[in-house]
Amino acid sequence: MRTLIILFSLITSFAFGQELTYSETPISVSKWIDGSLLVPNSGSDQLAIIIAGSGPTDRDGNQNFLKTNNLKKLAQELALNGIATFRYDKRIVKQIKMNSVDPNIKFDDFVSDAIDVVHYFKTKQKFKNIYIIGHSQGSLIGMLAAQQDVNGLISLAGAGQSIDAVVIDQVQKTAPMFTEETKRVFDVLRSGKTTTDYPPALASIFDSSVQEFMMSWMKHDPSVIIKKLDLPILIINGTKDLQVSVTEAEALHEASEKSELKLIENMNHVLFIIHGDDQENAKSYNDPNGKVSEELIKDIVAFIKKYAP
């Protein structure tokens, strides 16, 4: 019995100690932006702002039927390495909770939100250095927000082309018979007009409810934007990313003389290591028990510490 008591004491002490390694504080930056600030108990001069990918993605990296907690796990691992983080719900998450989704929401609204977050931490919090970590769509948002005088940018699974070029490539690979129609519809949107003239099979891409958002998104070319950034940049992509290929990361790296490129073997789009086939890869998108790549954490920590003044 005494042995069991001692063992239980050690286990609970370890768990309690783990909880005390960092603190988490909810922060409202603006009307639409709520997030969580994670700070190591030892303090930190380094803050990484984590920007989520497309869709109604919350601060933890989750959507309704896609739960991995990958951004929460990323933040926790960085805290364990002495780096504070702020991650936030995309504005559409709060709009959904309030049952007041703005039908006129634009891509640039997400950029404005990210800029608001940067300004908040530059004026109201005391961190010497601020970095942006943008995942997927958040990579492009991060590039645009990084023009607000931050110390560095980390692109995780970010596209190297504008969204229309990315979609055309995906259609060409998965449904080549619709390639020319996809190009035609994008040409219409690029002219500033909406259209109902598209094949039903492309409705998920060109539904009338998303066309204006798509128009505001496609005007931004990541390779052009990243070239203008005069700050340290780390570009990371996984070799098992089903959504963003390694060539996208290479295009970003080629466009920026300030960038470093890290390709992580077997890492997928949700930042997990996948040793199996595409079926295992797809299942990981709804695996709350998945583990964020250790190599990814090491690369980010090394980059931030390398450029910290």
Note down pLDDT in tens along the chain; length 309 residues: 454 444 444 444 444 444 569 999 999 999 999 999 999 999 999 999 999 999 999 999 999 889 999 999 999 999 999 999 999 999 999 999 888 888 889 999 999 999 999 999 999 878 999 999 999 999 999 999 998 789 999 999 999 999 999 999 999 988 999 999 999 999 999 999 999 999 999 999 999 999 999 999 999 999 999 999 999 999 999 999 999 999 999 999 999 999 999 999 999 999 999 999 999 999 999 999 999 999 999 999 999 999 776
Q: What is the pTM of this model?
A: 0.91
Q: Which domain holds residue 132?
A: 2-162+220-307
Residue 191 located in a structural domain: no
Q: Which of 279, 304, 261 is nearest to 156 (CA)?
A: 261
299 part of a folded domain? yes
CATH number at residue 81: 3.40.50.1820
- What's the CA gap between 73 and 186, in Å, rounded? 37
Is residue 185, in this structure, part of any structural domain at all?
no
Q: Where are the alpha helices (DSSP H) in 28-178?
A: 70-80, 91-97, 107-123, 137-145, 163-174
Asked whether residue 172 is domain-assigned, the answer is no
Distances (CA, A) of 93 to 19, 27, 100, 216: 28, 15, 10, 20
Is 240 inside a domain boundary? yes
**183 in any annotated domain:** no
Do the domain assignments include residue 15?
A: yes
- Strands of 192-241 (E only): list them: 233-238
Name the domain count of the chain: 1
| Assigned domain for 276 exists | yes
Burial class (CB in 10 A: 0-12, 13-18, 19+), 160: buried
